[in-house]
Chains A and B, each alone.
Chain A
Amino acid sequence: MAAVAQEAPALRAGGFTVGAGVVWSGPYDIGDATAELRGNATGETPHAFTLFTAKSRVTPAISPELRVGYGITPRIQVELGVAFSRPRIAVEIARDAEAPSQRLPGEQLQQYVIDGGVTWQLPVWLGARVGPRLAPFVSGGATFLRQLHEDRTLAETGQVYYAGGGARYWLRGADGSGRALGLRGDARVNFRMKGIDFEDKMRIYPTLSAAVFVGF
């Protein structure tokens, strides 16, 4: 195993990497709500009358991302990332006796995320068949989330915790000589708390990202 690990490319301990790329965030629900009227029946709490229902979700979004990492060891890197996106809050209206079910285009958010996390490069070598320059890793971390409504009159904050993995592919510098240059792909599962949500529940959604990184 030790011999295998020696042949896999790795980041330099004590070195920095800077990356830039794009991230796709998947959709997630932010709550079902029912507009209800007080029903006309005896008793203090008669059955409600439904005026309409509204199912809201944050739509998928693609955003630019910048990421800076610092190698603690050749396999462990701490990193900080920032991204900006403009997802929409789409609303599906249903059960309105006077209007057809419909999807409203919704408002466009301004969403800022700042994440801090760690990647651990797996001690495996994928070998010549997959590519000697490819190194998989797992990742985990936490994200500060800030969401501004379309009119920028109200901001909400939240936290996202994530776990995932990916791989780095060295275009050059895989053997540790010279400046590293490569491609990186990530897939994460995100667990979002707070932020814009009408039920105050934890929401789970995926993100996929692709980036170019440079080592210093």
Chain B
Amino acid sequence: MTRSIAATLALVLTLGSSSPLAYLKLGAMLNGRIIDATWKQQPIGYFISDRPGNSVSVADLRGAVDRAAATWSGVGSANVRFNFQGMTSAPAEGTDGRTTLGFLDRPDLDRVLGSTSFMIDTVSGAIAEADIFFNSRFAFSVAAGGQPDRVDLESVVLHELGHLLGLGHSAIGETERNSSGSRSVIGSGAVMFPIAMASGAVAERALHADDIAGISDLYPAPSTLGTGGIVGRVIKNGRGVIGAHIVAFNPETGILVGNFSLNSDGDFVIARLPAGPYILRAEPLDDAEPDSFFPGPIDTDFQVTYAPRMVVAPHGGSSPRIEIQVRAK
């Protein structure tokens, strides 16, 4: 007997509505337990809807999907493969047993560039089907160097394919509020950051270390055996902090990888790190809306705090547990 649930994740241009169920990895809640949602069979077959988009053709979309899929497949430390199975007249939504990517006109989602929906077997954690729509309310571009006033389609496809693979949103990024109250990105450390770059930007066609660590954790290749994890706890006034964002920075390689404290004890795990010493920075989740990451309330009332010392991710295994004590703002 297979039970399925539906989930949706979206990439927003600025602050927008979405109904996520995700941490670093996409999770399905079953009887109070979170299970990782992944594809159990590969290659992941997909269809492309023949509905044209705004200012780009279906062929442009297929090209962007091919390139973005190749980017994810090219991660050496992960086993990810895709297989284009053909064009379809079906829309990129609904439950039909096919994974479909395509344009949809969604005027009701005036901040959402694209969105991924899933059917997940909550017994096995297998993703049974996923559809991605790209909102044809927006003018997209596939120009190599980008186009002003148009959103780079390949960057959006890359983000949504990350969701399709089972990744949730990353919080490695900085934003600022503009006069209208929405957010604009200052800098991003992950393709899976939930808020898109400005129109014309094309830098997010390439994955960051955080994306690579996440996908390697979901679909580990043999080469991940040499990676290590950092485990620890974030506490405030002697109690665990839920929802703290912890970023690990390797001063030798410059990579940034993050994750959250996910329970009321404040426990966190940052997995699949290349071995080496890391500086840890704990911050409140204040650069995106918390409900883009967590279905429930989290603690954002604390100051940015560094771990008192560097922590080593060993070759295989995990570090001893480190404690980061934060103070209220």
Contact = CB atoms under 8 A, between A and B. Distances in A.
Interface of A: 31, 33-46, 48-49, 51-52, 54, 56, 89, 91, 93, 96-99, 102, 104-108, 149-151, 153-154, 196-198
B187 A51 contact: yes
A63 B53 CA distance: 70
A35 B254 contact: yes
A197 B208 CA distance: 23
B283 A34 contact: no
B254 A37 contact: no
Interface residues of B, number: 49
Interface stretch (B55-63, B119-127, B303-311): B303-311
Contact of B204 (A38, A51, A54): A38
Interface of B: 145-146, 148, 172-174, 184-189, 197-198, 200-205, 208, 228, 247, 249, 251-252, 254, 256, 275-277, 279, 281, 283, 303-312, 314-315, 317, 319-320
Given A93-B306, A104-B306, A154-B315, 11 more contacts: A31-B251, A35-B279, A36-B254, A37-B187, A42-B200, A43-B201, A51-B187, A54-B249, A104-B279, A105-B308, A149-B310
Contacts, number: 141
A32 to B, nearest CB: 8
B272 to A, nearest CB: 16
A197 B277 CA distance: 10
A151 B311 contact: yes
A170 to B, nearest CB: 46
Contacts of B148: 42
A135 to B, nearest CB: 44
Contact of A42 (B201, B311, B317): B201
Contact of B189 (A37, A149, A151): A37
Contacts of A37: 172-174, 186-189, 256
Q: Which 9 A-B pairs have the closest CB atoms?
A: A49-B187, A37-B187, A33-B251, A153-B314, A107-B309, A99-B304, A42-B200, A98-B304, A198-B251
Given A91-B310, A151-B311, A154-B314, A38 B189 contact: yes
B281 A40 contact: no
A98 B283 contact: yes
A52 B185 CA distance: 17
Contacts of A36: 187, 254
Contacts of B172: 37
A52 B280 CA distance: 12
